[in-house]
Amino acid sequence: MAKVVARPDLTIWEQIYFVEIVKGLIATGKHAVRSLVDPGNFPTKAYPEVPAEVPRDYRSRHRLMKRPDGTPRCVACYMCSTACPARCINIIAEEAPDKHIEKRPARFEIDLLLCVFCGYCVEACPCDAIRMDTKIAVLAADNRKSFVIDKGGLLDWNPADYPAGDTRSQEAPGGLRNAEALAAFTSGEHH
């Protein structure tokens, strides 16, 4: 059964909204005067010249993690594309030459125009192959094809951009721990 809510009776001044309009103009005037008198208090940033600081845990553009030899960690299990609510991840698998790995992605694409940046792909990945910590939060291009990131674009990142405590990133080529990780990888201990 619906509950009936009684509406309050409005005075004539409240019915024509004159008092409320004046209150709104006064509040806007106060903010305008405060901004003109003290411009240091003005809440704007010189954005294109000074980029905004993005926190490390902010869900930004995706990247594929690399093995110590530079190949993607992805084993083409399709868990990320299955978990994706926007269906923006497309993977085509192929057989891997390494006997310890059954398959690898021949093609891995993410359509950023469809992506809702929910992070389900990162959570679903069983081998930590995809992350969303590049700190690239502003995406701009002049055509739609530029928003489809392929495997090469997802692997294009530098371990120097990530903290030394991120051991998985530092095991990639160019990272601080790549030499010992590559030795363990080639010896067969890493698999």
- Helix or strand or coil: residue 109? strand
- Of 124 and 41, the structure prediction assigns the larger pLDDT to 124
Nearest to 96 by CA among 81, 83, 77: 77
Is the pLDDT score of 40 beyond 80? Answer: no
The structure tokens listed for 80 are: 């990320």
| 81 domain-assigned | yes
Which residue range forms the structural domain that includes residue 175? 63-187
Could you report the per-residue pLDDT of 70-81, keeping only the tens digit for each? 999 999 999 999
DSSP letter, residue 104: E
Query: Can you tell me the distance from the alpha carbon of 62 to that of 117, in angstroms, rounded to the nearest whole number?
Result: 9
Whether residue 131 contacts residue 117, with contact meaning beta carbons closer than 8 Å, is answered with: no
Whether residue 54 contacts residue 61, with contact meaning beta carbons closer than 8 Å, is answered with: no
Where residue 157 sits, what CATH number does that domain have?
3.30.70.3270
| 99 domain-assigned | yes
Give pLDDT, residue 106: 96
Could you report the per-residue pLDDT of 123-166, keeping only the tens digit for each? 999 999 999 999 998 889 999 999 999 999 999 999 999 999 99
Give pLDDT, residue 190: 60
| 12 domain-assigned | no
Q: How many domains does the chain have?
A: 1
Whether residue 62 contacts residue 139, with contact meaning beta carbons closer than 8 Å, is answered with: no
| 31 domain-assigned | no
Give pLDDT, residue 8: 87
Q: Which residues pair with 91 in a beta bridge?
A: 108
Give pLDDT, residue 189: 64
Q: Is the dihedral of CA 26, 29, 34, 35 positive or negative?
A: positive
- Letter for the amino acid at 68? P
19 pLDDT tier (thresholds 50, 70, 90): confident
